[in-house]
Chain A
Amino acid sequence: GAVVSQHPSRVICKSGTSVKIECRSLDFQATTMFWYRQFPKQSLMLMATSNEGSKATYEQGVEKDKFLINHASLTLSTLTVTSAHPEDSSFYICSASVTGGRTEAFFGQGTRLTVV
């Protein structure tokens, strides 16, 4: 099956700094990538939908200036958490949708962000 690589798997950063998370589709082109956030023992909450070459669409309540999403190519989307605070600590997961009308989304391994 298709592979989505997410990097880094774990990151610890100081409060006030920015962290970039990468999501790559390794063997397919992904017109659309999705970013989810998962709190401990909870479900995945969609943060934003990222389309190659255009601005991301953010879900209600997600600060677009804090969570910057860039989808510069068909195989790479990045999520940058700017001016991170402890409350941004969470598990972030990306997924990529295959082009051509297929429905299956493939997920990255996730990134555990800890802001200290």
Chain B
Amino acid sequence: AQSVTQLGSHVSVSEGALVLLRCNYSSSVPPYLFWYVQYPNQGLQLLLKYTSAATLVKGINGFEAEFKKSETSFHLTKPSAHMSDAAEYFCAVSEGRSGTALIFGKGTTLSVSS
């Protein structure tokens, strides 16, 4: 069975500071990994995904994540936080087969202060 653990339910940073949101996964098969962002009362927007190609994945809005198999991690980073980055972030894993659902972590709320 697959699972995702997001360390830290709430992360607070200052505007301009580094953003680091942690995600560790468990999977019996090579995983496909995703980061989504959710704003209040809205659906999910894909930030980036890892699908067994390059281990360093660049996404939208300046975010990137690195797949580290040895650490079973897929942490999300952004060099400089912006106020508009404040939202809920979800890490998700799938087996990568068509028709399989994503399994989500519990989410991390990112707060950005001025």
Query: Provided the pairs A6-B43, A112-B41 are in contact, do residues A105 and B107 lie with their beta carbons within 8 angstroms?
Result: no
Q: Which one of A6, A44, A51 lies within 8 Å of B99 (CB-CB)?
A: A51
Q: Which one of A32, A42, A97, A109 lies within 8 Å of B106 (CB-CB)?
A: A42
Please provide the chain A residues from 29 to 51 with a CB less than 8 Å away from any CB of chain B in the complex: 31-32, 34, 41-44, 46, 49, 51
Q: Is the CB of B98 within 8 A of A102?
A: yes
Q: Is the CB of B46 within 8 A of A104?
A: yes
User: For chain A, which range describes its interface: under 10, 10 to 19, 20 to 34, or 35 or more residues?
Assistant: 20 to 34
Nearest A residue to B91, CB-CB:
A43
Number of cross-chain contacts by CB at 8 Å: 66
Judged by DSSP, the binding face of A is: strand
Query: Provided the pairs A43-B90, A49-B101 are in contact, do residues A103 and B51 lie with their beta carbons within 8 angstroms?
Result: yes
State the CA gap A95–B100 with chains docked (Å). Answer: 11
Q: Is the CB of B98 within 8 A of A43?
A: no
State the CA gap A46–B3 with chains docked (Å). Answer: 13
A78-116 vs B: 1/0 string, CB under 8 Å?
000000000000010101011111111111111010000
Interface, chain B (partner A; CB < 8 A):
32, 34, 36, 41-46, 49, 51, 90, 94, 96-107, 109
19 examples of A-B residue contacts, CB within 8 angstroms = A1-B46, A4-B43, A6-B43, A31-B98, A31-B99, A32-B98, A34-B101, A43-B105, A46-B103, A93-B43, A103-B49, A103-B51, A103-B94, A106-B46, A107-B36, A109-B43, A110-B41, A110-B42, A112-B41
